[in-house]
Amino acid sequence: MDETAVSTPDPRRWRALAVTLTAGFMSLLDVSIVNVALPSIQDGLDATVAGTQWVVSGYALTFGLVLVTGGRLGDAFGRRRMFLVALSAFVVTSGIAGASSSEGMLIAARLAQGIAAGMLTPQNTGLIQELFHGAERGRAFGMFGATVGLSTAVGPVLGGLIIAGFGDDGWRWVFYVNLPIGLLALALAARWVPKRDPARRAASAQLDLPGMALLGLAVLGVLLPLVQSEHGGLTTLWWMFPLAVCVAWLFVTWERAVVRRGRMPLLHPRLYTSTPGYAVGATIGATYFCGFAGMWLVFAMFFQQGLGYSPLESGLLVTPFALGSAVSSALAGRAVARWGRRVTITGLGLVVVGIGLVAVLVPFVPEDAIGYAVAAPLLLGGIGGGMVISPNTTLTLDRVPTTMAGVAGAALQTGQRLGTALGVAVLGAVFHAGVAEGEGYRAGLAMAMLCTVGFTFVALTLALLDARRHPRRSLAGQQAPVGREGPLT
């Protein structure tokens, strides 16, 4: 009998999911919503350009650094407990960020807020694995995928509305808005999220502290140059990439040694070597996020710098993607139980077509009609995007034991954060290259969109190969088989 099987589902599971997704939406929204507030922050705090960029990149950096550690802590000490602790910290740091009186105080608050968000996010996927099974799990991950897609696309619109509504101090309310929502979520989570007894082991046996340090250094070596790419990070910090490779090798070697000693590693090697679908699913997700997350920065620069639109107008013009993604995510979550990998293949194909049409149309459409011209292709791409994130997450985590659900989901999201950082750096560089060559903002946007298509096509190829290798795969929720390296639990 599979360890995930339960005789009676928890009656509070859907209410618990609504609360945890609300909190997750806040943490993911803070990745993008602050972008539109940067000019106001610079004026209000007399901050430098480099300092305001750290308000964004610092959050993304610490967010990505602690994801796996947060997932492991949830597995070890209870996801409800970690959820409440992390959400409390997120609310407090949001308040400090909003009340900041200097550039340094705001950057420090954002670094701490990113840590809280990175600890919070893995508990969402872990709780879905724990509370939902079979077709219901696909529906739950469909809602999770809609949350991810909406938080990414809606951030600029919501940020623009807040700035417009609160005037000069609007940037503070970008952070303050988390307080009432977070406090309500805390109260409801304490009531609805069920308790689960963590594994009865000593803390020293549960926590792989050297593994945490090594993985954190490896992720830092990749993320820091990427998040600083607009300020010469790739030129001055290039040496961190080979260092990250060396540290990653040390991490894998250490984790294998931990398993041989019969102790629990931070990230079990067999998640990637012997858990069906996990490695390819994680790679598909990371590759897709390279194109998906990077294109929002390009659209913002194109509409605001190239066409002179306001942040709110710029955000509204890309909402067709968010709307399409929100609708299709819920439907795809239901369909993945029956159709499996074919759902993500269809979605990736629609993204290629939709974003490809944007790249083709923009250079030839009159400037005052560009917003209308890209609406339908973005809607098509959004429908496809909603069929990628949640079904791929469901398929990737389906065979992972629930005792490793937190760390497995966190590792998956770490790959997505790395993909996001890489995509933002690459697409931003391609866009600026197109503009600098004298072809104008339209050419820059077209080149960047073709780059997104390229990333998505790579993810599509991987999905096709996976479907060919496992043509009859459906959701089974079975534990990964035990191999020479021992069980995952």
In tens, the pLDDT along 333-345 reads 778 878 888 999 9
Residue pair 264/205 in contact (Cβ under 8 Å)? The answer is yes
Question: What pLDDT score was predicted for residue 331?
Answer: 84
Tell whether the model's pLDDT for residue 217 goes beyond 60: yes
Instruction: Give the mean pLDDT of 144-161.
Output: 75
Instruction: Give the mean pLDDT of 227-236.
Output: 74
Residue 162 burial class via C-beta count within 10 angstroms: exposed 0-12, middle 13-18, buried 19 and up: buried
Residue pair 271/411 in contact (Cβ under 8 Å)? The answer is yes
Among candidates 380, 356, 359, which has minimal Cα distance to 370?
359
Residue 306 burial class via C-beta count within 10 angstroms: exposed 0-12, middle 13-18, buried 19 and up: middle
Question: What pLDDT score was predicted for residue 198?
Answer: 53
Question: What pLDDT score was predicted for residue 242?
Answer: 92
pLDDT, greater one: 199 or 17? 17
Output the CA torsion sign for 195, 142, 288, 442. negative
DSSP string for residues in 294-351? HHHHHHHHIIIIIS---HHHHHHHTHHHHHHHHHHHHHHHHHHHHHTHHHHHHHHHHH
**Facing residues of 486 across strands?**
483
Predicted confidence band at 394 (pLDDT cuts at 50, 70, 90)? confident
Predicted confidence band at 5 (pLDDT cuts at 50, 70, 90)? very low
Instruction: Give the mean pLDDT of 104-108.
Output: 92
Predicted confidence band at 474 (pLDDT cuts at 50, 70, 90)? low
Type of residue found at 433: A
Give the model confidence (pLDDT) of 107-127 as tens digits: 999 999 999 998 998 888 788
Q: 277 in the Ramachandran plot: left (φ > 0), alpha (ψ -120 to 50) or beta?
A: left
Predicted confidence band at 13 (pLDDT cuts at 50, 70, 90)? confident
Predicted confidence band at 439 (pLDDT cuts at 50, 70, 90)? low
Angle (CA) 114-272-423 rounded to 5° is 45
User: How many CA within 13 A on the CB side of residue 191?
Assistant: 9
> In whole angstroms, what is the distance from residue 62 CA to residue 371 CA?
35
Question: What pLDDT score was predicted for residue 459?
Answer: 95
Q: How far is CA 71 from CA 57, 77, 126, 278, 421, in A?
A: 22, 10, 8, 16, 21
DSSP 232: T
Write down the pTM of the prediction: 0.81
> In whole angstroms, what is the distance from residue 390 CA to residue 416 CA?
13
Secondary structure class of 2 (helix, strand, coil): coil
Domains and CATH numbers, the chain: 13-192+264-469 (1.20.1250.20)
Tell whether the model's pLDDT for residue 483 goes beyond 50: no
pLDDT, greater one: 3 or 333? 333
Instruction: Give the mean pLDDT of 449-464.
Output: 94
Question: What pLDDT score was predicted for residue 152?
Answer: 67
Predicted confidence band at 138 (pLDDT cuts at 50, 70, 90)? confident
**Selection from 19-28, 104-113, 298-307, 393-402 with the highest mean pLDDT:** 104-113
**Selection from 243-247, 322-326, 349-353 with the highest mean pLDDT:** 349-353
Question: What pLDDT score was predicted for residue 481?
Answer: 43
Question: What pLDDT score was predicted for residue 478?
Answer: 43
Range with the poorest average pLDDT among 233-237, 246-250, 416-420? 233-237
- Distant-in-sequence, close-in-space partners of 483: CB < 8 Å, separation ≥ 6: 270, 273, 274
Instruction: Give the mean pLDDT of 463-489.
Output: 60
Secondary structure class of 486 (helix, strand, coil): strand
Give the model confidence (pLDDT) of 23-35 as tens digits: 888 887 887 778 7
Give the model confidence (pLDDT) of 167-183 as tens digits: 777 889 989 989 999 99
Question: What pLDDT score was predicted for residue 480?
Answer: 42
Question: What pLDDT score was predicted for residue 111?
Answer: 92
Question: What pLDDT score was predicted for residue 2?
Answer: 43
> In whole angstroms, what is the distance from residue 217 CA to residue 228 CA?
16
> In whole angstroms, what is the distance from residue 103 CA to residue 162 CA?
21
